[in-house]
Amino acid sequence: AIRSSGSVAVAADRAHYASDLAANAVDLIGVGSGAFLSAPGLDAAAGLVVSVWLFWGATGVLRGAANQLLDRATPDSDRATITTTMLSDPRIMGVHRLRTRQTGPVMVIQMHVDMAPTLTLAEAHDILEEAEARLLALWPQADIMIHPDPRGSLTVEPVKKGPWA
């Protein structure tokens, strides 16, 4: 359920129930062993084990929540795959101004592509729909925006600095 939903709340709930179960089991073992073996330090050791385990679980949940709430960079390997996938169609002559980011489970992809200036708007649209379908086959939850540029008429614009640079 955790992986299929991608929900931090479900992951946190699972961690909560697992920590309750483990903490009680380890505490019982520690206290019981300490009492029966006349080793008073075992219950303290069990408490330390539980504390470390709870901290480790909370850190994992926090990391997952941060990934959901904050954008992060898309790996260079994914960016290369996007470019290769786009250029696998000979009607797409180039990819530039590729911007990507990961926000939660969604990869946001924006790019400009060079296409033949003789294509009609409908033809360019159909080609880009096919290209988008190829990308969605790789990243089903992607949010994709592809802007066609006629090859050879591109005026070079300075790259804007900002959160997507």
Between the two ends of the chain, the Cα-to-Cα distance in Å is 35
Residue carrying the six token digits 């920590």: 19
pLDDT digits 0-9 by tens, 72-83: 889 999 999 999
Instruction: Tell how strand 71-72 and strand 106-115 pair up.
Output: unpaired
DSSP 33: H
Mean pLDDT of 131-155: 90
pLDDT digits 0-9 by tens, 91-113: 999 999 999 998 888 899 999 99
pTM above 0.75, yes or no: no
Return d(Cα 101, Cα 164) in angstroms, integer. 8
* pLDDT surpasses 70 at 22: yes
Using alpha carbons only, how large is the chain's radius of gyration in Å? 26
97: which 2 tokens? 């101004």
* pLDDT surpasses 90 at 125: yes
Partners of 150 in beta bridges: 115
**Above pLDDT 70, what percent of the chain?**
87
